[in-house]
Amino acid sequence: MKNGWQKFLDGEFDVMDFFPEPAEEPDLSREAVKEIRKEENRRIDEDPRTRKVVAFERRSFRIIYYFVAVVSCVVFIGVMLYGVSFLPRYGQENAWAAEVSRRYIEKGLEETGALNIVAGMILDYRAFDTLGESHVLFTALVLVMVLLRRDKKNQQSEVEDYYTIRNDAYFRTAGDLILSKTGTFLVPCILVYGLYVLLNGQLSPGGGFSGGAVMGAAMIIFAASSGFDRVDRFFSLKLSSWVTFAALGFYSFAKGYVFFTGANGIHNGIPKGTPGAILSGGLILPLDVAVGVVVACTMFGFYSLFRRGRIGGSGK
Amino acid sequence: MIGWIRFGLTAVFLIAGLVFFAGGAAGYIRFGYSLNRIHAGGLGDTAGLFFVLLALAFSAGELMDILKLGLLLLFMWSTSPTSSHFLSQIEYYTNTRLYDHVEREESKEDENGSC
Amino acid sequence: MTLETAYRLLYIGTLLVLAALIGIMLVRSIIGPRVTDRILAINMIGTMVIASIAVLSQYLMEGYLLDVGLIYAMISFVSVLILASVYIPAHPMRGPFGKEAFRENEMRTEPKTGKKGKARRKRR
């Protein structure tokens, strides 16, 4: 019988030679295959040469791994440093490196209408980045839910259920008299303050992210001082999902116009208002509200998931 | 002339606030047990912050700044005792050799046993 | 000695003294044998930082920096709260924070019947 390679060289090549004949007997069942594999593994494990081979493989892998890790890190760092060396020195005036920032500083107020240049930048000039950031926060919440959530599908037994309830009661702070009275007074104040920071994004430092964080912290204080049952009355999974969806959808649709007007130089008719008033800056205020709401839901969602493994009521 | 009076008041109250902060820090370093150090913490939170913010209210330019300083003071005065309460609770519940440092009284709660 | 330089000297001196106090407190927070000492150090350092932020807002004549101070006060409060809930276990025998607080100040947040009641009864 000639070799396959020989047949190829001589020109007697037949494609159908590569496909084996169909088997006459059916395949083995899964349990039988598992048994055969287990038997083979047992035979390999009992062989005295196996341990030496495994040890040699492990050592050689470690040596090669360290070497390759060091070399790749050095190469990567070298390439990056070489690229960075073309930048101007720290603090030096350089026309071609600073033209974007000069444009933002000089024309920021008249083009965006916001007194706070940073808010004008992240929500008007570079609103697409902020859209991505909000989506990243939402994705983080979804992933934490995938990893940590306990519902009917995840719970294995009654014992786990007991420990969940016991840990929730074990580590609570809600029964304290001092904390509950302080929390009754503090939580509305902090919530209103968070709303103030949120709505003043275009006038003073603040904006969507910090205002949302303050509102999330107010919810955390509320949950810690009055117990989770009170928060579950208004913050359920359905509310959180719909609110984040609505906020992100509104952001995406509201800022979609720039893809048509910005590149083609068409003037958009969104009013900028007088700088210094609260209703100024075009679309900065609604987008601030959307981002703040997403951040607040995410922060409280994280706290609730890490404490009890669910957002909102248990629904049992 | 009024400018110098304002400066004088600011300086006096600021130095008073710094004295209280330094007293709090000195107490924190030199006291023997952690339950005593919580008292030193309260000193800084209440008196130190009050005098510092009062000093800054004298030299403030707008009304909004004074209101914000008042709000900050109100917030700190509401939350600092709760923080001290929780710190002492942590110490009480997690120290197994509490009664080496603390005197024990005979009271009716002992019949429950200590946990 | 004009008024401006007098104010500037005063504010910078205050900031320097507060910074030195913060540095001193860090030393004790490393030494201090209990966990309470360290959380207390964070709390006090936070208060000193709030004072220095307020002084800075007057020094730079920017009024909005006081918002930052308020947020910092809230953050330090929430941190002590959550750390306490990590370190204080609630003993069901004597109530979470004192026997009287558990029995008399029931806030009706945990229902007596239901899952938690069943857990409590199961333990006894």
**Is residue C115 one of the residues assigned to a domain?**
no
For C84, list phi and psi in degrees, rounded to 5. Answer: -65, -40
Tokens matching residue B104: 């024990």
Residues of chain B neighbouring C57 (CB-CB closer than 8 A): 56, 65
Nearest Cα of chain C lies from the Cα of A82 at a distance, in angstroms, of 39
Instruction: Determine whether the interchain pair B82/A185 forms a contact, defined as Cβ–Cβ distance below 8 Å.
Output: no
Question: Considering only CA atoms, which of A259, A248, A288, A256 is closest in space to residue A114?
Answer: A288
> Which ranges constitute the DSSP H helices of A176-236?
177-199, 208-226, 228-232
Separation between Cα atoms, residue A19 and residue B13, nearest integer Å: 94
Residues A203 and A268 in one domain: yes
Q: What is the pLDDT of residue B3?
A: 87
For C95, list phi and psi in degrees, rounded to 5. Answer: 85, 160
Residues A73 and A120 in one domain: no
Question: Considering only CA atoms, which of A316, A291, A243 is closest in space to residue A123?
Answer: A291
pTM recorded for the entire structure? 0.74
Mean pLDDT on B30-58: 92
Instruction: Determine whether the interchain pair B49/C51 forms a contact, defined as Cβ–Cβ distance below 8 Å.
Output: yes
Tokens 């959550």 appear where? C82
Counting every residue, how long is chain C?
124
**Is residue A99 one of the residues assigned to a domain?**
no
For residue C43, the cross-strand partners are none
Separation between Cα atoms, residue C58 and residue A81, nearest integer Å: 42
Separation between Cα atoms, residue C7 and residue B60, nearest integer Å: 12
Q: How far is CA A57 from the centre of its chain?
A: 38
> Which ranges constitute the DSSP H helices of C1-124?
3-31, 35-59, 65-87, 99-104, 115-123
**Is residue A231 one of the residues assigned to a domain?**
yes
Q: For chain B, what are the domain ranges? A: 2-98
**Is residue A101 one of the residues assigned to a domain?**
no
**Is residue C7 one of the residues assigned to a domain?**
yes
Separation between Cα atoms, residue B81 and residue B45, nearest integer Å: 9
Identify whether the C-beta of residue A215 lies closer than 8 Å to the C-beta of residue A195. yes
Residues A223 and A276 in one domain: yes
Identify whether the C-beta of residue C37 lies closer than 8 Å to the C-beta of residue C28. yes
For A275, list phi and psi in degrees, rounded to 5. Answer: -65, 135
Question: Considering only CA atoms, which of A91, A277, C116, A186 is closest in space to residue B77?
Answer: A186
Q: What is the pLDDT of residue A208?
A: 87
Residues A200 and A259 in one domain: yes
Q: What is the pLDDT of residue C55?
A: 94
For the stretch C61-73, pLDDT in tens is 888 889 999 999 9
Residues A62 and A140 in one domain: no
Q: What is the pLDDT of residue B112?
A: 55
Taking the Cβ of residue B9 and every Cβ of chain C, the question of whether any pair is shorter than 8 Å is answered with: no
Identify whether the C-beta of residue C119 lies closer than 8 Å to the C-beta of residue A166. yes
Tokens 């295959």 appear where? A33
**Is residue C32 one of the residues assigned to a domain?**
yes
Q: Residue C106: pLDDT above 50?
A: no
Residues A169 and A230 in one domain: yes
Separation between Cα atoms, residue A235 and residue A300, nearest integer Å: 9
Residues of chain A neighbouring C122 (CB-CB closer than 8 A): 162
Q: List the chains bordering chain C where 3 or more Cβ pairs fall under 8 Å.
A: A, B
**Is residue C100 one of the residues assigned to a domain?**
no
The pLDDT tens digits along chain A (316 residues) read: 667 677 777 777 777 767 777 777 777 788 888 999 999 999 988 888 888 999 999 999 999 999 999 999 999 999 999 998 887 777 777 766 678 888 888 888 888 888 888 888 888 888 889 999 999 999 999 999 988 887 766 666 666 666 666 666 666 777 778 888 999 999 999 999 999 999 988 888 888 899 999 999 999 999 988 888 888 888 888 999 999 999 999 999 988 877 777 767 777 777 777 777 778 777 889 999 999 999 999 999 999 988 887 887 765 5
Nearest Cα of chain A lies from the Cα of C28 at a distance, in angstroms, of 28
Q: What is the pLDDT of residue C123?
A: 53
Identify whether the C-beta of residue A244 lies closer than 8 Å to the C-beta of residue A294. yes
Identify whether the C-beta of residue A311 lies closer than 8 Å to the C-beta of residue A301. yes
Q: Which domain holds residue C74?
A: 3-88
Residues A285 and A207 in one domain: yes
Mean pLDDT on B44-63: 91
Residues of chain C neighbouring A180 (CB-CB closer than 8 A): 105, 107
Taking the Cβ of residue A189 and every Cβ of chain B, the question of whether any pair is shorter than 8 Å is answered with: yes
Q: From C117, which residue of chain A is nearest by alpha-carbon distance? A: A165
Q: Residue C88: pLDDT above 50?
A: yes
Whole-angstrom CA distances from A251 to A41, A257, A292, B81 are: 57, 11, 12, 42
CA torsion through residues C114, C115, C120, C123, sign:
positive
Angle at A296 between CA A294 and CA A301, to 5 degrees: 95
Identify whether the C-beta of residue A172 lies closer than 8 Å to the C-beta of residue C90. yes
SS3 of C98, please? strand
Residues A175 and A284 in one domain: yes
Q: List the chains bordering chain A where 3 or more Cβ pairs fall under 8 Å.
A: B, C
Identify whether the C-beta of residue B44 lies closer than 8 Å to the C-beta of residue B22. no
ipTM over 0.95? The verdict is no
| DSSP label of A13 | -
Q: What is the pLDDT of residue A154?
A: 65
Angle C3-31/C35-59 helices, nearest 10 degrees?
A: 170
Q: How far is CA B42 from the centre of its chain?
A: 2
**Is residue A281 one of the residues assigned to a domain?**
yes
Separation between Cα atoms, residue B69 and residue B71, nearest integer Å: 5
Residues A265 and A135 in one domain: yes
Q: Identify the weakest region by mean pLDDT among A201-205, A259-263, B27-31, C104-108.
A: C104-108
Q: What is the pLDDT of residue A279?
A: 81
Mean pLDDT on B58-86: 91
Q: Residue C114: pLDDT above 60?
A: no
For residue C96, the cross-strand partners are C98
Tell me which residues of chain C, numbers 16 to 75, contact chain B at a CB-CB cutoff of 8 Å. 17-18, 21, 24-25, 27-28, 32, 34-37, 39-41, 43-44, 47-48, 50-51, 54-55, 57-58, 61, 63, 66-67, 69-70, 73-74
Residue that wins the pLDDT comparison between A96 and B37: B37
**Is residue C117 one of the residues assigned to a domain?**
no
How many domains does the structure of chain A reveal?
2
Number of other CB atoms surrounding residue A283 within 10 Å: 20
Q: What is the pLDDT of residue A222?
A: 92
Q: Which domain holds residue A203?
A: 116-308
Instruction: Determine whether the interchain pair B56/C69 forms a contact, defined as Cβ–Cβ distance below 8 Å.
Output: no
